[in-house]
Copies of this chain bind each other. A is one copy, B any other.
């Protein structure tokens, strides 16, 4: 810190992560007296509720993302740095990256969470999860490639293994992926293949608990199950995955061949949580004070998926956008107020700031889509299923997308898909190796087998 800084003494707020929580906090601190630095390892904010649309070739990555710099650029007191935070020195009050440090007066850690493999990280390469744009593109690549390789194999007259898609985990993401996959197989791909029939592909949705959408009310869980089965998804509940390998998944002792396996189960908080050196829950979420600060450090807040906090009824707050957004707004308000009062903080004996309000989550409702005109919605005491739930889902998601252009583009994509059943971004990029495919050779592209002839008649 140089002398100029000490003279000016603007209150420095560092925000780690520009997901829903971090971005909301930054926007709530715009035009305040604070000097805000947002650090994210990506240059873009991702609208995660629509990631499954990128993974299933319905939308382009750019349509559900926006450069963090563009969103925040108009606020002169906010700067954006693209870097990966490696640690926080709570005593010196600096955030550390591999090659520089940023000092703070207040810190908001909103580094998010990812999927978890229950201690089996080696499953990841066979069963990718869905948390980033890169994840979505990898899943898209695998889904589209499975059809192409099946067609090629069938055309070459080889024995064709069943075209099985397996989705693990029946939370909102798993349900969305399975439902959309069913639609793709039955409709989008119809008529475009000669040697295989995409409609004969099977989609399995595997859930460890007894119900799909386990956090939803029982009637909506049941409705979601019915809607999934109507789309042709085979749902297996109370089924634990015991092993994943190239091209196969085990449910207990039973082996199931699979062209593509997708992982939508488990939560694992950002490793930054553990690095703070504070107590965390089993998923690695930081146990925060009711004002979202951490013990003994009223100047440090943890929000969003990385925070573990229970509501008044003792239920853990869910890892959804609404919680993160409300928390971002809540901590920004505390910081603004304390700057305005020129307050020096003096933590009480239990390590909390006594004068602060406590965070309360206002649940505005929950929405999960299953497919075309299929969804469930819980809005207060109103439970909706089917077409109206789906319409609600559609407009809520377009409304919350960032950027006017993205809203228009997504609206056109969906209108077009609704009429034509086509998916808007069906391109395979990033290579043609598919782990688990019978033709897959880790050492290179299909080098080992001898050539086989394709004859026009052999193609049926």
Chain A residues at the B interface, C-beta cutoff of 8 Å: 1-2, 4-5, 8, 10, 12, 35, 37, 41-44, 60-63, 65, 67, 69-70, 73-74, 79-84, 94, 96-103, 133-134, 137, 144-145, 148-149, 151-152, 155-156, 191-195, 405, 408-409, 412-413, 416, 422, 424-430, 432, 439, 445-447, 449-459
Given A67-B426, A144-B43, decide whether A35 and B456 contact each other with a Cβ distance below 8 A: yes
In the complex, the answer to whether A422 meets B70 with C-beta atoms within 8 Å is: yes
Nearest-neighbor residue (CB-CB) of A157 within chain B:
B100
Chain B hits for A430, CB < 8 A: 134
Nearest-neighbor residue (CB-CB) of A46 within chain B:
B427
Chain B hits for A446, CB < 8 A: 98-99
In the complex, the answer to whether B100 meets A456 with C-beta atoms within 8 Å is: no
Nearest-neighbor residue (CB-CB) of A43 within chain B:
B428
Chain B hits for A193, CB < 8 A: 69, 73
Can you give 7 contacting A-B residue pairs, CB < 8 Å?
A: A1-B455, A2-B455, A2-B457, A5-B457, A98-B449, A134-B430, A405-B424
* Min CB–CB distance A358 → chain B (angstroms): 31
Q: How far is the CA of A394 from the CA of B151 in the complex (A)?
A: 38
In the complex, the answer to whether B8 meets A428 with C-beta atoms within 8 Å is: no
Given A99-B439, A103-B453, decide whether A427 and B67 contact each other with a Cβ distance below 8 A: yes
In the complex, the answer to whether A456 meets B12 with C-beta atoms within 8 Å is: yes
In the complex, the answer to whether B455 meets A103 with C-beta atoms within 8 Å is: yes
Q: How far is the CA of A12 from the CA of B148 in the complex (A)?
A: 21
* Min CB–CB distance A198 → chain B (angstroms): 11
In the complex, the answer to whether A426 meets B70 with C-beta atoms within 8 Å is: yes
* Min CB–CB distance A59 → chain B (angstroms): 8
Chain B hits for A74, CB < 8 A: 191
Given A43-B426, A70-B426, decide whether A81 and B191 contact each other with a Cβ distance below 8 A: no
In the complex, the answer to whether B101 meets A451 with C-beta atoms within 8 Å is: yes
Q: How far is the CA of A344 from the CA of B43 in the complex (A)?
A: 62
Nearest-neighbor residue (CB-CB) of A420 within chain B:
B405
Q: How far is the CA of A447 from the CA of B99 in the complex (A)?
A: 8
